[in-house]
Every structure is written in C-alpha cells, then in structure tokens.
Amino acid sequence: MFTRRSFARVGAAALCIFLAPTAPAQKHYDQGASDAEVVIGNTMPYSGPASGLGAIGKTMSAYFRKINDDGGINGRKIRFISLDDAYSPPKTVEMTRQLIENEGVLFMGGSLGTATNISVQKYLNDRKIPQLAIISGASRWNDPTHFPWSMPVMLNYSTEAWIYGGHILRTKPDAKIAVLYQNDDFGKDCLEGLKEGLGEKAKKMIVAEVSYETSDPTIDSQIMQLQASGADVFVGFSLPKFTAMAIRKVYDIGWRPVQYVSTSSISIATVMTAAGLEKSKGVLSAATIKEPTDPQWQNDRAMNEWRDFMKKYNADVSPNDIQGVAGYAIAQVIAQVITQCGDNLTRENVMRQAGNLKLEAGVGLPGIIFSTSPTNYAPLHAAQLMRFDGTQWVRFGDVISR
C-alpha cells in the first residue's frame, strides 16, 4: 500500500485546490457517464493472499455511498463497482473485461496490486480507458509517454526503499543487511530503491537477498536463510500476510535485527496484531498519511471527519486500520478528478484532469503534497520515518523528499 501512503482531502474544510477547471458550456459524455451518474470500475483482493488490503476497497465503496447521500458530484451519483480478483492476474483480466465490456464503466479507479494492474495495462491503454489511482508504487506507472492512460496514487516503491537505505547509512553505517522481497515488480522495485539509497556501499552491506512467491504457504525457510547470513538489519518488502509471518518468525527464532517493513504492511489491526504487538515492537517503516491510533490526531479536524464517516458508513472496517484512511484518501482523489471534469466526462478529459492535480492537507501528513502533471504521473515524493512502540506508530525526524 497503498499505505501505502498521503493522499488528498476533498472538501471545503480540508482541501486546498491549486488548479480549478473551466467547465465547458456543452456537456460531453463517453460510455459510463450521463446526466444522472458516473460509473467507475475497480478490482480488489477481497480474498486471496492480499485480502488484508481489502479494507481499502470497502472504504472506497463506503465513501462513494457517502458522496451519493450528499447529492453526488456535480449533480451525478457515483456507481462504484468493485469486484474481487483475489490478487490473481488472470482473475483481474476477467473482472476488468467484465467491468468495461458488460458494466460499461467510464474508467477504472483505485484497483490494487502491481502484477494485477500490469495484467490489464495494455488492454486499457489500447482502448484509451483511464486506469486511475493505481494502488501500486511500481516505477512503471509513471510512464506517460508509453502508457498515457495509467496513473498511480502511491509513493513510488523505489523512493520508499531509498529512504530506508539512507536511514541505515546514517544510523548503522556498518550494517549487514538481509532482504526479503516479493518476486515481482513490487519487490524488485523496492530492492533496487534500497540499493540506490545505500549507494556505493550496497554491494558490501547487503549480505543476503531472498524472494518469496505469493503462493508460498509460509516463509519460514526464507527467514531462516536470512538469519544464517549473519545480518543485523532485516528489510522486508512483502504483503501484509507475509509481513506478519516474517515479524513473528524473526522474533520466535531469537533473531533481533533492526527491522524495516513496507508501507503496504503497517496496519496495526491486521499486521502488527497478527504478528504479536510485543514481537512487532521496534519495527520501522514510513508514513505518508495520518495513523488513526496516533494521539496527535485525536482532535484533528480531518481525522475526526474520517472517524465520523467510518462510524456511519464503514463499520465493517476497524477504526484502527490505516487501510481505512488510505481507502478514504484514494476515493477523495478520484472524486476530485470527477469534480474537475465538470460536464466534460469524456475519458480524454478524465486523464487531463488527473494529470493536473495539486492537493494537500486532510488525512495526508503535513508537508506532503499530492501533485501530478501531464509529464510526471508520480503523485508523491516524500515520507516520514516511524517506529512501532508496541502499541502505536511513532513518527520521527523530518519529512524526507527525493
């Protein structure tokens, strides 16, 4: 994720919009848009190895229900059709084709996963159908020249890992680093970013690299192999399910390295609790959005609005789950794109507006800007480090930009 991390708050109380569209005098519609509604397609792992991230999709669906109760966007209701792809690329292809060809959606918005989104990228780009707010930080999504219809919503995986590499250099310059990574673009992008952050010391400092497959029932053997390397720093680029397994196994075998985990796996409700709160103590990661358990945000206006929303519309997702914050923010980014489209709801204009966003505040951390341009689709370039204290995440240091 997602966390995954750090999006825009849409609303008068918390959103600063730097670019305002000029609506055309005449209405223009493509498939999936009309005077009455806008139809959005989405695929999400409500089952399968990444089901812990399904809370994002549930929250997005809930947010659009709230939008409709409030009168819709520019007078149009939002029909958000979210289908379970079980984090399986073949299933993603099947579900996406169903959404485009049978449900007639205007665009795909907020679908989750690297390999899953890759499986439909060419299909959508060939048909000039927007693939917006992709919940993946893979570097391939920032390629408006070759894939102008695909745009991410997350911090780039490479940037996140680069931040970890820099922190290791500053705090433990003689570290021996072991890396667990998912064997796909997600894991490989993270590994490359870590090496970039370590610079010329990467070859010497990284003493072990081991991958896993999402179909693996456990990663016990990988953890044992990494421990045997003699490493005193462990970096895990993995999905929530495997991150919980890794934290628990590292602790149970008596290995006590400095430990970093991906922002996609920072949920206290579904990862740290599953691993064991005491066993997770001291784990490091990065943040781009506000953590719901952080007492600093107890009286924060945007987070109080989020809590009210969760209580009324999204009771099935724990109010302590940061994925609920992520889904809320992602839905707001999509809503802002539709708002900027005005009465010109063509797919071409959807991409034009998505490529001209500059938003801040709301549930994103202060100092982190969500910004896109026609030549740079990457919306986020900064994060803040944080440490889990056994109860909550505690942020420290400055916001780090790349």
pLDDT, tens digit, 9 for 90 and up, residues 64-107: 999 999 999 999 999 999 999 999 999 999 999 999 999 999 99
- What is the pLDDT, as a whole number, of residue 367? 87
Q: What is the mean pLDDT of residues 37-41?
A: 98
Q: Are 119 and 89 in contact (CB under 8 A)?
A: yes
- What is the pLDDT, as a whole number, of residue 7? 40
Q: For 101-125, what is each residue's pLDDT tens digit?
A: 999 999 999 999 999 999 999 999 9
d(C-alpha 267, C-alpha 394), whole Å: 13
Q: For 311-324, what is each residue's pLDDT tens digit?
A: 999 999 999 999 99
H or E stretch covering 150: strand 150-152
Q: For 205-263, what is each residue's pLDDT tens digit?
A: 999 999 999 999 999 999 999 999 999 999 999 999 999 999 999 999 999 999 999 99
Q: CA angle 286-322-295, nearest 5°?
A: 80
Mean pLDDT (the chain, rounded): 93
- What is the pLDDT, as a whole number, of residue 360? 75
What does pTM read for this prediction? 0.89
Q: Is the pLDDT of residue 128 over 50?
A: yes
**% of the chain at pLDDT higher than 70:** 94
Q: Is the pLDDT of residue 361 over 70?
A: no
Structural domains of the chain, ranges and CATH numbers in brackets: 28-155+295-381 (3.40.50.2300), 157-287 (3.40.50.2300)
Q: Is the pLDDT of residue 6 over 50?
A: no
d(C-alpha 232, C-alpha 95), whole Å: 43
**Runs of H (alpha helix) within 173-217:** 185-198, 202-205
d(C-alpha 54, C-alpha 283), whole Å: 23
Q: Are 330 and 60 in contact (CB under 8 A)?
A: yes
